[in-house]
Amino acid sequence: MKHVSLIQFLIEERRAGRVNAELSLLIEVVARACKRIAVATNKGAIGGVLGEAGTGNIQGEAQKKLDVISNEILLEANAWGGQLAACASEEMEDPQPIPDMYPKGHHLLLFDPLDGSSNIDVNISVGTIFSVLRCPDGVTEPTAEHFQQKGTTQLAAGYVVYGPATVLVLTFGHGTHEFTLDREVGSFILSRRDIRIPEETGEFAINMSNQRHWEAPMQRYIGELLAGLDGPRGRDFNMRWVASMVADVHRIITRGGVFFYPLDAKIRSKGGKLRLMYEANPMAFIIEQAGGAASTGRERILDLQPTGLHQRVPVFLGSKKEIDIVTHYHREADGAQG
């Protein structure tokens, strides 16, 4: 079988008029940075990269050393390339401008440099999630406000899972594609083109320890799945929860399933657990491009008008039929209340 590298794939996409040269170069730079994060992650304890950094991020969460290292790798790699007007990250309160000594480009990059970082110390898959937006015309010093664009405006989105293999999943809005890192050669190789998520599934992912805090429609939906063969759904469902969104989403991209981080009483005041701009939006774009659905339980994620760079939202994504059912339960409950 003839291998197609990420670079070849990007050239083909350019020739087909689906990606411009600047965006294609930006993705190459991000992919190169992620290869460096993969190397750092793979070193584990002998690289001195495990454990706490002793700092907190903007959301008051303790940072792991690898959170900080991955953030620096992505910032450094992207500063000089000339494709970006600014970067924003989970680890920084405000967007980072491109230093004056480097040329500026027309894109905005958002990322969660190391998603699932509480799993690093136990050697479970972690990942990087990113989203690319166009910098509004005429804006030379982008602020948080310029990043607050609806998910439907994303030009590209992707994630990299640092697991048994390092895998990049990417979309430009023309399907979702997977690339596997060939470590010896140092290249990402196309391993699945045009991924399709099955519409139906028998597998769900949720942190069940929060069950007592969920809203009534969520209790109803999960209750029905747990009731199995004898319940209203008439079949048994299986459950998985890695607690690294990238790993849970990658399983869904591979064999179907649904992932939920719903609103619950503990996080209601924050709006949810997961971040809209660099977790929910890119994952929603990837999932929709693979034939799945992504919702807050009430609205399509990609249609949300962001109100803050670090805004949190409930996330429901995966096989379309299940997302439709659980969204219907939420709307029905809202209608009954209203």
Q: Verify binding: residue 115, ligand AFP, rule CB under 6 A.
A: yes
Q: Verify binding: residue 245, ligand AFP, rule CB under 6 A.
A: yes
- Other C-beta atoms closer than 10 Å to the C-beta of 181 total 22
Q: Please give the angle made by the CA atoms of 151, 152 and 153, to the nearest 5 degrees.
A: 90
Q: Which of 165, 243, 268, 270 binds ligand AFP (CB under 6 A)?
A: 243
Taking CB under 6 A as the binding criterion, the range among 135-143, 228-236, 237-245, 319-327 that sits at the site for ligand AFP is 237-245
Nearest approach, Cβ of 201 to ligand AFP (angstroms)?
18
Q: Verify binding: residue 306, ligand AFP, rule CB under 6 A.
A: no
Are 175 and 193 in contact by the 8 Å Cβ rule? The answer is yes
Nearer to ligand AFP, 134 or 213 (CB): 213
Q: Which tokens go with 141? A: 């010093």
Nearest approach, Cβ of 52 to ligand AFP (angstroms)?
12
Nearest approach, Cβ of 282 to ligand AFP (angstroms)?
13
Q: Which of 118, 123, 143, 153 binds ligand AFP (CB under 6 A)?
A: 118
Nearer to ligand AFP, 21 or 243 (CB): 243
Question: Which residues fall within 8 angstroms of residue 146, CB to CB, at 6 or more apart?
Answer: 86, 95, 108, 135, 136, 139
**For tokens 């469902």, what's the residue?**
237
Nearest approach, Cβ of 60 to ligand AFP (angstroms)?
11
Q: Verify binding: residue 207, ligand AFP, rule CB under 6 A.
A: yes
Are 72 and 55 in contact by the 8 Å Cβ rule? The answer is no
Query: Which SS3 state, helix, strand or coil, does residue 224 take?
Result: helix
Q: Verify binding: residue 117, ligand AFP, rule CB under 6 A.
A: yes
At 210, the amino acid letter reads N
Nearer to ligand AFP, 61 or 303 (CB): 61
Nearest approach, Cβ of 62 to ligand AFP (angstroms)?
9
By rule CB under 6 A, what count of residues binds ligand AFP?
Answer: 10
How many whole angstroms separate alpha carbon 267 and alpha carbon 63?
20
DSSP code for 214:
B
How many whole angstroms separate alpha carbon 157 and alpha carbon 26?
12
Q: Verify binding: residue 143, ligand AFP, rule CB under 6 A.
A: no
How many whole angstroms separate alpha carbon 126 and alpha carbon 123?
9
Q: Verify binding: residue 123, ligand AFP, rule CB under 6 A.
A: no
- Does an H or E element contain 320, and which? helix 320-337
Nearer to ligand AFP, 159 or 221 (CB): 159
Site string for ligand AFP, 45-74 (x = CB under 6 A): ----------------x-------------
Q: Which tokens go with 249? A: 């989403």
Whose CA is closest to 316, among 204, 183, 162? 204
Are 225 and 284 in contact by the 8 Å Cβ rule? The answer is no
Q: What is the CA radius of gyration of the chain?
A: 20
At 251, the amino acid letter reads R
How many whole angstroms separate alpha carbon 148 and alpha carbon 145?
5
Site string for ligand AFP, 257-296 (x = CB under 6 A): -----------------x----------------------
Nearest approach, Cβ of 274 to ligand AFP (angstroms)?
6
Nearer to ligand AFP, 164 or 335 (CB): 164
Nearer to ligand AFP, 29 or 315 (CB): 315
Binding site for ligand AFP (CB under 6 A): 61, 115-118, 207, 243-245, 274
